[in-house]
Chains A and B, each alone.
Chain A
């Protein structure tokens, strides 16, 4: 714990936003920082949750402890709806209260002796949880990196896919696609190389597919679209951005039966033990909502909300392109990654906040390769997105 540098990134952003509103009580703050969903959840899903909640007051409808691994109907629905034709079975899906929680459970599973690689930049929970579990080594001021973590640089130069030929071998590789924060979605070819790399090194990929629902093109939505992935990859995902469940709390992790430790012991058995010992199941009401999300009408309804956010992303991306800034992401993810050459990202953060009352996230918060970049999230009410665009155009014209 002592090894952690500061507070977790997102509460820091919250705090700065809060302090700003205290100083400027009349300013209309627009939040494009933390990727927090804003649009209401479709009726078909919330009414399923309300119905389930009310039924808990009846003898027939009351349920106590659920299976720690999740409600079987939901596990099967996830496997069949989201992993169709990929050979993933219901019993390989573990329902949880969210991807951030699952990442720590996976860290607990793997223990402190494993080595870790992350993309640079990446979602801070991978690094921070690695530090907490004692595998990161000491933080090095000059490089902005933890000594024992392998950072795989992802930049426009390498099309946001790491150069695996110069990547040191590690036990675990965290990989997020579509990526938070760069918004980049890896291609099938790139993921094939990643799976081959993992196979050659005997590594385990922890693949975060929380933003898969935002993909617009043919980019793979799951690592299991790649042959051989079941023997090397765990996939973590979430209903947060897919269904607006950021407060409701629901996610899942896939651990294929084929995934084995070096002594042949199936990883799934140990993960099941973690889930039974350190967890007590995802909230039952949230699971009822999750099941509704995966019904044909529910899925269609959530797709409409995602389309709304994607339109927001387009507006933001177009805004920056019109300002002749280099813009990345936005097409396959709700994040837009903008290059501000020669400037420190925290300085840009402060300037944008001070002059336009817009909260963003400085790229360096995601790792040293995020320096000079800013992440803009596309979650927000359309009028706020439009207003933010107006203000940014004003500032940077």
Chain B
């Protein structure tokens, strides 16, 4: 079996939970609350070496108290764990995964052949390259600037290439440090809150409200059109905002984003704007925060090739830090981000960057839009299905996520019921924050036949 074959097989077999974590219950992980005896755990008669005592050695290093604040595992490995447990229970079931937003369609050849070529080139004298610039290769930075930010005055050197938005979010948190306050939408992509907890920006988790103390949760509901009422939002240093939104699928309008920028300006806050789903936009909403005048002085934008080019495994993203963005003492944020990128990172993979550049050629862009179009058709099918069943359905138009309301039910219960009875994996809304309770997120990434089959099963269950 060739090396790459064995590799591929291993990759396609599942998933992440390699150790047995305790039952995922929303009330908490619990281990950190168990007091440990001061003495070692005990003596065991060891047959092999009768002289030795079997005691558990512990270092004297204290566990990071911020890690202890986290309530459970990161959301998506938990979903994967449940899916795997379900597969074990029903080995013959055809489980369909509409949970984790994982791309399924092959990457267009124009892109993969660029990566293959780059790989083979590394075996040649002319084609070999070692360390790249940590900020990314100039042609790629320039191509991203002109393709996505052409008219907004964002320049090549404002762009920092990375191995993905999730990683960039944590690098931004390192730039900000532990003394900043932050606001998130509620519901929101879990990495914003979790990385904030890990960095020590938050207080303890408050079980009664299911929120971390000191985080400002900006409620986004059907009632407020999934845009927070900023007049009720307290001032924070950092505001995370994702549009088109994961998980609600809602896209903010120009007016709303103008309000947001003004709010940030008034409060001297920094917006971290996550635009990873911008190309899924059907409506005429801004695709970048920098379409809003004044945004360069208050916003950072992060984005990703994951959902555009199926680069979820290939790993490529970018973050825009405008030169105009300054800390309160006038120090440019980009300088600190650059320092983090040079010290805590070593550049995105040169092969992935070659692929990313190919994505922005005319042929590459056309191919990317085709794949995005495919997933958007999937989204339409899912939206129509839930509409036809009489559910209140949100999202779907501007993002590959459908946000379905299940009033009066716990979202984990609905998740379990759907999984048990239709073998379809979804994501419970409460995993994205208390504002997600009562909702289920259905992701539209999947082979067409699986999407259609899943919808058939939903119709069966809910007719």
B351 touches A285 (CB 8 A): yes
Smallest CB separation, A156 vs chain B (Å): 29
Cα distance A39–B339 in the bound complex, in angstroms? 28
Q: Which of A57, A274, A277, A288 contacts B112 (CB 8 A)?
A: A57
A58-66, A80-88, A317-325, A365-373 - interface stretch: A58-66
Check if B163 sits within 8 Å of A97, measured CB to CB: yes
Interchain CA distance A219-B84 in the complex, whole Å:
43
Decide yes or no: A247 and B130 within 8 Å by CB, A8-B342, A57-B108, A286-B349 being known contacts.
yes
- Judging by beta carbons under 8 Å apart, are A54 and B112 in contact? yes
Contact residues, B328-349 vs A (CB, 8 A): 336, 339-340, 342-349
- Residues on A with C-beta less than 8 A from B66 are 111
- A247-271: CB near B (< 8 Å → 1, else 0) gives 1110000000011111111001110
Known A50-B120, A63-B8, A71-B11: A277·B342 in contact at CB below 8 Å? no
Task: From the candidates B32, B310, B315, name the one contacting A62 in the complex (CB within 8 A).
Answer: B310
Q: Which one, B3, B170, B346, contacts A97 given CB within 8 A?
A: B346
Give min CB distance, A4 to chain B, whole Å: 7
| CB–CB A112/B178 < 8 A | yes
Q: Do the beta carbons of B119 and A40 come within 8 Å of each other? A: no
Measured between beta carbons, the chain A residues less than 8 angstroms from B321 are none
- From A62, A109, A198, A258, name the one whose CB has the most chain B CB atoms within 10 angstroms: A62
Q: Is B77 at the interface (CB under 8 A from chain A)?
A: yes
CB contacts (< 8 Å) of A52 on chain B: these are 4, 7-8
Min C-beta distance of B80 to chain A, whole Å:
9
Q: In the complex the two chains form, is B19's CB within 8 Å of A269's CB?
A: yes
Of the listed residues B107, B121, B174, B343, the one surrounded by the most CB atoms of chain A closer than 10 A to its CB is B343
Question: For the complex, is B103 an interface residue (Cβ under 8 Å from A)?
Answer: yes
Q: What separation, in Å, do the CA atoms of A62 and B309 have in the docked complex?
A: 12
A231 to B76, CA, bound (A): 30
Q: Which B residues are in CB contact (< 8 Å) with A270?
A: 63-64, 67
Taking CB atoms, residues of chain B closer than 8 Å to A246 are 130-131, 346
Per the CB 8 Å criterion, the residue count for chain A at the interface is 114
Cβ–Cβ contact B102 & A53, under 8 A: no
List which A65-107 residues lie within 8 A (CB) of chain B: 65-69, 71-74, 91, 97-98, 100-101, 103-104
Known: A246-B131, A281-B313. A46 touches B123 (CB 8 A): yes
The smallest C-beta distance from B49 to any residue of chain A, in angstroms, reads 12
Q: Which of B11, B59, B200, B350 contacts A284 (CB 8 A)?
A: B11
Contact string against A for B residues 85-119, beta-carbon threshold 8 Å, 1 for contact and 0 otherwise: 00000000000000010111111110111011101
With a cutoff of 8 Å between Cβ atoms, the chain B residues found around residue A122 in the complex are none
A1 to B19 CA separation, bound complex (whole angstroms)? 36
B339, A272: Cβ atoms closer than 8 Å: no
Residues of chain B contacted by A280 (CB below 8 angstroms): 163-164, 166-167, 312, 315
Contact A232 B59, CB 8 Å, known A108-B198, A110-B64? yes
CB contacts (< 8 Å) of B361 on chain A: these are: none
The reply on B246 being an interface residue by CB < 8 A is no
Contacts of B445 in A (CB 8 A): 64
**A279 contact from B121, B127, B167, B190, Cβ within 8 A:** B167
Interface hits, A21-46 → B, CB 8 Å: 34, 36-46
A residues less than 8 Å from B111 (CB atoms): 57
- Which chain B residues (131-155) contact chain A, with CB distance < 8 Å? 131-132, 134
Chain B residues positioned under 8 Å from A8 (CB to CB): 339, 342-343
Set of chain A residues within 8 Å of B191, measured between Cβ atoms: 277-278
Measured CB to CB, the nearest residue on chain B to A36 is B130
A81 CB → nearest B CB, Å: 13
The verdict on A374 contacting chain B, using a C-beta distance below 8 Å, is: no
Determine whether A149 belongs to the interface, using a CB cutoff of 8 Å to chain B: no
Chain B residues at the A interface, C-beta cutoff of 8 Å: 2-4, 6-8, 10-13, 15-16, 18-19, 21, 31-32, 36, 56-67, 70, 73-74, 76-77, 100, 102-109, 111-113, 115-117, 119-125, 127-132, 134, 163-164, 166-167, 169-170, 174-175, 177-178, 190-191, 194-195, 198-200, 310, 312-315, 336, 339-340, 342-352, 355, 445
- Can you name 21 A-B pairs with beta carbons within 8 Å? A34-B131, A47-B120, A48-B3, A55-B4, A56-B310, A64-B312, A68-B16, A74-B10, A91-B19, A100-B346, A110-B64, A132-B344, A171-B61, A246-B131, A263-B36, A265-B63, A273-B74, A279-B166, A283-B313, A285-B351, A288-B7
